[in-house]
Amino acid sequence: MPYLESELILTDNERIYHLDLAPGEVAKKIILVGDQERVPKVSKFFDTIEVKRSKREFVTHTGTYQGERITCISTGIGTDNIDIVLNELDALVNIDFNSRTVKKTHTSLDIIRIGTSGTIQNNIPLDSFLISEKAIGFDSLMHFYKSDHVLEKTISDAFVKQTNWGAEKSTPYVVTYDATLGSKFKSDKIISGFTATNVGFYGPQSRVLRLNISDESLNDKLANFSFEGSNITNLEMETAGIYGMAKLLGHKAVSLNAILANRATGQFSENPKALVEDLITFTLEKIVS
């Protein structure tokens, strides 16, 4: 049965509603960045650029790098935007816009997040790269989908028990990266990690400015959580949603983090722009290697 106009929303020129993209304008290899100003910082390394599109916080550049077609798109901050971006990217490759039906042949995308993050562990140095092998989400996105088959419930149950997680908060969920895609980015330059995806930047990450937080020991609880020798390493705001949506839709995803801050020591990178550019070039070289 065709998707209704209220569900699959297209613009007057037959582009997907929020991203403002048409089928064929995205590559099978997708780089996701949060900041729209980071898109040209990625695409400046492209040999060619065929698509430049901007709508709201979603900026898209599609081009080629060393013969590989790549799309870089900004998501904005948070898993609410990830829900939009992943669903619409999938629609662009797996739904026929003319018939409004699912295509008979499924297309799987490689989705690589390049993001910034802060560690909560003393032994993870500033200005390092971290690959998220697992992510725990505090945002509830996965609970709006039939997602039990992609979640690591044993880990989330252990987390709730160890941290005495409050019932008034969303139930945490845990998702793993795609190990096959992730293996392309393993190197002696990158640390393996377990990432926490938070619902905000201040209170949800235990930052105190003018508001008191409900649990002053939250970051300590996260840092001290252990499951089969695995500890939570860093905090950010998108990875768990990316992993969950990618698995549900049949795509591969990996999240690469530039560690700009160490929350345990109170330090911040002296040259964050250079660090992010180093992660961009590292990622591009790994994509084509």
Q: What is the DSSP string of 65-118?
A: ETTEEEEEEE--SSHHHHHHHHHHHHHHHHEETTTTEE-SS--PPEEEEEEEEE
Measured CA to CA, the distance from residue 93 to residue 29 in angstroms comes to 12
**Single pTM value for the model:** 0.97
Which pLDDT score is estimated for 197? 98
Question: What pLDDT is recorded for position 152?
Answer: 98
Q: Reduced to 3 DSSP states, what percent helix, strand and coil does the chain have, rounded to the nearest 5?
A: 30, 30, 40
Q: What sign results for the dihedral spanned by CA atoms 33, 243, 82, 236?
A: negative
Residues 15 and 32: their CA atoms lie apart, in Å, by 20
> Position of tokens 């591009």?
284
pLDDT at residue number 130: 98
Task: Give 196's strand partners.
Answer: 136, 235
Residue appearing with tokens 């699912």: 102
The span from the first CA to the last CA of the chain, in angstroms, equals 42
The pLDDT tens digits along the chain (289 residues) read 899 999 999 999 999 999 999 999 999 999 999 999 999 999 999 999 999 999 999 999 999 999 999 999 999 999 999 999 999 999 999 999 999 999 999 999 999 999 999 999 999 999 999 999 999 999 999 999 999 999 999 999 999 999 999 999 999 999 999 999 999 999 999 999 999 999 999 999 999 999 999 999 999 999 999 999 999 999 999 999 999 999 999 999 999 999 999 999 999 999 999 999 999 999 999 999 9
Specify the pairing of strand 234-236 against strand 129-137: unpaired
How many angstroms from the chain centroid is the CA of residue 173?
15
Place of tokens 């941290």: 163
